[in-house]
Amino acid sequence: MSESQITTARGSHLSRISTIAIHTFTQLVRMKVFYFMAIFAVILIASNFFDLPQHSGPEAAGEHAIRMIKNWSTGPMTLFSVVLGVVATALLLPKDIEDRTLYTILAKPVPRFDYLAGKLLGVVLLLFVSLAIMDLLMVALLQFRVDMLIDQQTEVAKAMGWSAQEISALREETLANGVNASLHAAVFAIFLKATIMAALALLISTFSTSTLFTAVVGFLLFFIGHFQADAREIYMQSGQLGEGGIAKYGSLAFAMLVPDLQLFNVVDSITEGKVMPLMLMGKLTLVALYYLIFYTVASWFVFSDKEF
Amino acid sequence: MADSTPAVEIQNLVKEYKTSFRRSPLRAVDDVSLRIMPGEVYGLIGPNGSGKSTTMKALLGLVAPTSGQCSIFGKDSLKVDSRNDVGFLPENPYFYKHLSGVETLRFYGKLCGLKGKVLKQRVGDLLEMVDLEGAKDRRIGGYSKGMLQRIGLAQAMIQEPRLVILDEPTAGVDPVGSRDIRDLIMKLRERGITVFLCSHLLEQVQEVCDHVGIIFEGKMIREGKLDELIAIEDQTEIVIKDASPEMIQKISAMVGQSEGASVVRTGKPRTTLERLFLREIRKDES
């Protein structure tokens, strides 16, 4: 049963993986998962009405509303994408086994790795498309709001007798707080986080006996992933594992097995107006790739000897 | 020159499953060996739980043998490339309900490396073969049991395999659907495709298979050519059309005069209930 025995099946690995990925994407779309987009749109529109009058000068007018739109967009984006990543992945494998569609696929010249990789890529494609649409919605609303804000600020500033140079500087500052590359990078970080969770859910579902178990363990690991870095640090500092090698390598091994999701919590600082360095973006991509490859290979290791 | 490589070769297959509640593992298949040559239609018959499906799954690499070996056209079943030449229809298949008939066939075709015009042509031919052209754009979720089995047979045939494995192909299908599937199996036989099917519907197996194996409690208890296995060696059958009672009397008297021979039974041969049902249905339709 070992996949190392794979020799010459018809068609390439790439074509089989893409066939399964596109099919998985279609399957999830036809399961009407995009309905959550409507909820997202409602949340986004609602965030527009929370422009509380707490500004003291023209430079602060509407700024709160912009931050609110960013926060109210990125929050649901994280929630929807992680839930979608975990639940969709947790659902696919047991459903194929229960409906015996898996038999018909594996009875074709399809290596088990291709099947798993195709399923995961299908979910990742869905996450990408979902987040891209949500990103577009957010950008459209944000741009509209920023334009409104600039008009409002200019009007107030003129009434207060600001110079043209000051008004231009304020305009630049407001624009920088609106749609920028860092905001897209924040959405990309959310995508990476959801992708890691989907790959982890795939690994759990290869030995799990139910969708519920996979989803529950997946979300549990999602929370552990957010606190593991702090927990490791506290544990190391307390000296419970002793000094030196064992503690250090034990901690490292834990970080390699359970995703360190705290690294991806860059969204809050970006919505506050901070810029995401390119270096950090590259680091997050590499970390996500590591977890993605590690969980996929581990899933294949378990799945290649599974009997149906 | 005929191909001498067996389409299917199973040698001393043993499959044991670990069970949580028993100390000893459950032996689902116990030292089963069989060989199917190209072009044969082989029926593996046995009661539920006798090891038929496990034998098929081992042949398809869905389960790993505890011991023994399975091969398809000389290739080890555990290797992926052995599945280039095999199509499989599982028992009660569901397929993806969100796909239409044509999308289902395209999906399986692409998995087998087919694309472009070749895939389109193949999908069209198969839909015609299983008589589902009229329902090709309907979602599979709305298909009847018989239609599901037929689209299942079409997906099994998508890459033009030399061997087709069918697990209970007519189970749960009405008489008309069941007849259609058996007609399709016969078409496969005419085209020289090897068919390996398992069923517990003995009359249907008898109709389509030329070789059978009887499996019981995991063991192969009898195997061989169907005609040889079911022939009653010391009896001869003569079927006469429009025979008068006088002629029957004469023949009976003639047999009575012969030393050692006797008439066992005379009377009108009966049609089967299935033939009667299908004839009446078709009469009503026309």
Q: Is the dihedral of CA A165, A167, A168, A169 positive or negative?
A: positive
Which residue from A100, A104, A109 is facing B81, i.e. has the nearest CB? Answer: A109
Mean pLDDT for the stretch of residues A82-104? 90
In chain A, the number of structural domains is 1
Interface probe for B, chosen from A92, A93, A108, A110 (most Cβ of B below 10 Å), is A108
Q: CB-based contact (8 Å) between A32 and chain B?
A: no
Question: Scanning every residue of chain A, which has its alpha carbon at the shortest distance from the alpha carbon of B154?
Answer: A104
Instruction: Express each pLDDT in B12-25 by its tens digit.
Output: 999 998 877 666 78
Cβ distance A15 to B110 less than 8 Å, yes or no, reads yes
What is the dihedral angle through the alpha carbons of B175, B177, B180, B182, rounded to the nearest 10 degrees?
Answer: -70
Residue A129 lies in a domain: yes
Instruction: For residue A9, name the pLDDT band (cuts at 50, 70, 90).
Output: very low
**Chain B residues inside the 8 Å CB shell of A104:** 88-90, 93, 95, 108, 152, 155-156
Which residue from B89, B98, B111 is facing A110, i.e. has the nearest CB? Answer: B111
Burial (Cβ within 10 Å: 0-12, 13-18, ≥19) of residue A149: buried
Task: Name the CATH topology of B8-230.
Answer: Rossmann fold (3.40.50)
CA distances, A1 to each of B78, B79, B119, B163, B188 (Å) = 5, 7, 29, 21, 30
Which residue from A3, A11, A308 is facing B57, i.e. has the nearest CB? Answer: A308
Q: Where in chain B is the domain with CATH 3.40.50.300?
A: 8-230
Nearest to B165 by CA among B37, B42, B6: B42
Contact B81, B36 (CB under 8 A): no
**Chain A residues inside the 8 Å CB shell of B57:** 103, 307-308
Containing structural domain, residue A89: 13-303
- Three-class secondary structure of residue B213 per DSSP: strand
Residue A274 lies in a domain: yes
- Mean pLDDT, consecutive 10-residue stretches, chain B (286 aa), reads 81 88 81 93 90 92 93 92 91 86 95 92 93 92 89 92 91 83 89 91 85 91 85 81 88 86 82 71 70
For residue B156, the one-letter residue type is A
Residue A216 lies in a domain: yes
Cβ distance B63 to A308 less than 8 Å, yes or no, reads yes
Q: What is the pTM of this model?
A: 0.84
- CA B94 to chain A, closest CA, distance in angstroms equals 6
Which residue from A8, A26, A107 is facing B88, i.e. has the nearest CB? Answer: A107
Cβ distance A104 to B81 less than 8 Å, yes or no, reads no
- CA B121 to chain A, closest CA, distance in angstroms equals 18
Cβ distance A6 to B81 less than 8 Å, yes or no, reads yes
Contact A260, A222 (CB under 8 A): no
Cβ distance B63 to A307 less than 8 Å, yes or no, reads yes
Instruction: For residue A293, name the pLDDT band (cuts at 50, 70, 90).
Output: very high
Asked if the model's pLDDT at residue A56 lies above 60, the reply is no
- Three-class secondary structure of residue B286 per DSSP: coil
Cβ distance A6 to B79 less than 8 Å, yes or no, reads yes
CA B132, distance to chain mean position in Å, is 21
Secondary structure percentages of chain B, helix, strand, coil, to 5: 40, 20, 40
Asked if the model's pLDDT at residue A120 lies above 90, the reply is yes
Instruction: Express each pLDDT in A244-286 by its tens digit.
Output: 667 777 777 777 888 988 888 888 888 777 788 889 999 999 9
Please count the residues of chain A.
308
What does DSSP say about strands B75-76 and B67-72: parallel, antiparallel, or unpaired? antiparallel
Q: CB-based contact (8 Å) between A265 and chain B?
A: no
- Three-class secondary structure of residue B141 per DSSP: helix
Kindly list the residues of chain B whose beta carbon comes within 8 Å of any beta carbon in chain A.
Answer: 57, 60-64, 76, 78-81, 83-84, 86-96, 98-99, 107-108, 110-115, 152, 155-156, 159, 165
What does DSSP say about strands B8-17 and B67-72: parallel, antiparallel, or unpaired? antiparallel
Question: Scanning every residue of chain B, which has its alpha carbon at the shortest distance from the alpha carbon of A306?
Answer: B63
Asked if the model's pLDDT at residue A40 lies above 90, the reply is no
Q: Count the alpha carbons within 13 Å of A178 in the hemisphere toward its beta carbon.
A: 20
What does DSSP say about strands B26-36 and B86-89: parallel, antiparallel, or unpaired? unpaired
Residue A248 lies in a domain: yes
pLDDT of res. A251? 75
Q: Which two tokens stand for residue A148?
A: 């409104």
pLDDT of res. A49? 66
Backbone angles phi, psi at B223, to 5 degrees: -155, 145
CB atoms within 10 A of CB B222: 11
Q: CB-based contact (8 Å) between A4 and chain B?
A: no
Compute the distance between CA of residue B276 and CA of residue B274 in angstroms, rounded to an integer.
5
Cβ distance B111 to A19 less than 8 Å, yes or no, reads yes
Contact B84, A10 (CB under 8 A): yes
How would DSSP label each residue in chain A?
Answer: --GGG----SS-HHHHHHHHHHHHHHHHHHTTGGGHHHHHHHHHHHHTT---S---SGGGTTHHHHHHHHHHHHHHHHHHHHHHHHHHHHHHHHHHHHTTHHHHHHTSS--HHHHHHHHHHHHHHHHHHHHHHHHHHHHHHHHHHHHHHHHHHHHHHHHTT--HHHHHHHHHHHHHHSS-HHHHHHHHHHHHHHHHHHHHHHHHHHH-S-HHHHHHHHHHHHHHHHHHHHHHHHHHHHTTT-SSHHHHHHHHHHHHHS--GGGGTTHHHHHTTPPPPHHHHHHHHHHHHHHHHHHHHHHHHHHTT---
Compute the distance between CA of residue B195 and CA of residue B139 in angstroms, rounded to an integer.
28
Where on the phi/psi map is residue B56: left (φ > 0), alpha (ψ -120 to 50), or beta? Answer: alpha
Q: CB-based contact (8 Å) between A14 and chain B?
A: no
Contact A63, A80 (CB under 8 A): no
pLDDT of res. B35? 94
Compute the distance between CA of residue A193 and CA of residue A200 in angstroms, rounded to an integer.
11
